[in-house]
Chain A
Amino acid sequence: AAGVIQSPRHLIKEKRETATLKCYPIPRHDTVYWYQQGPGQDPQFLISFYEKMQSDKGSIPDRFSAQQFSDYHSELNMSSLELGDSALYFCASSFSRGHEQYFGPGTRLTVT
Chain B
Amino acid sequence: QQPVQSPQAVILREGEDAVINCSSSKALYSVHWYRQKHGEAPVFLMILLKGGEQKGHEKISASFNEKKQQSSLYLTASQLSYSGTYFCGTVSGGYQKVTFGIGTKLQVIP
Binding site for B on A (CB under 8 A): 31, 33, 41-45, 48, 50, 55-56, 58, 90, 97-106
Contacts and interface: CB of A to CB of B under 8 A. Distances in A.
Given A42-B102, A100-B32, A48 B40 contact: no
Nearest to A106: B41
B82 interface: no
A5 to B, nearest CB: 12
Interface string B5-44: 0000000000000000000000001101010000011111
A111 B91 CA distance: 31
Contact of A43 (B55, B87, B94): B87
A58 B47 CA distance: 21
B1 to A, nearest CB: 13
A97 B103 CA distance: 24
Contacts of B44: 100-103
Interface residues of B, number: 25
**Which of A33, A56, A90, A105 has its CB near the most chain B CB atoms (within 10 A)?**
A56
Contacts of B99: 45
The 6 A-B pairs with the shortest beta carbon distances in the complex, nearest first, are A97-B95, A103-B41, A42-B100, A100-B47, A48-B96, A56-B96
A55 B96 contact: yes
Interface of B: 2, 29-30, 32, 34, 40-44, 47, 49, 55, 87, 91, 94-103
A3 B94 CA distance: 25
24 contacts: A41-B102, A43-B42, A43-B100, A45-B97, A48-B96, A48-B97, A55-B94, A55-B96, A56-B94, A56-B95, A56-B96, A90-B42, A98-B29, A98-B30, A98-B49, A98-B95, A99-B47, A101-B44, A101-B98, A102-B44, A103-B34, A103-B41, A104-B41, A106-B41
Given A97-B95, A100-B32, 13 more contacts: A42-B87, A42-B102, A43-B87, A43-B100, A50-B96, A56-B97, A58-B97, A98-B29, A98-B95, A100-B55, A101-B44, A102-B44, A103-B44
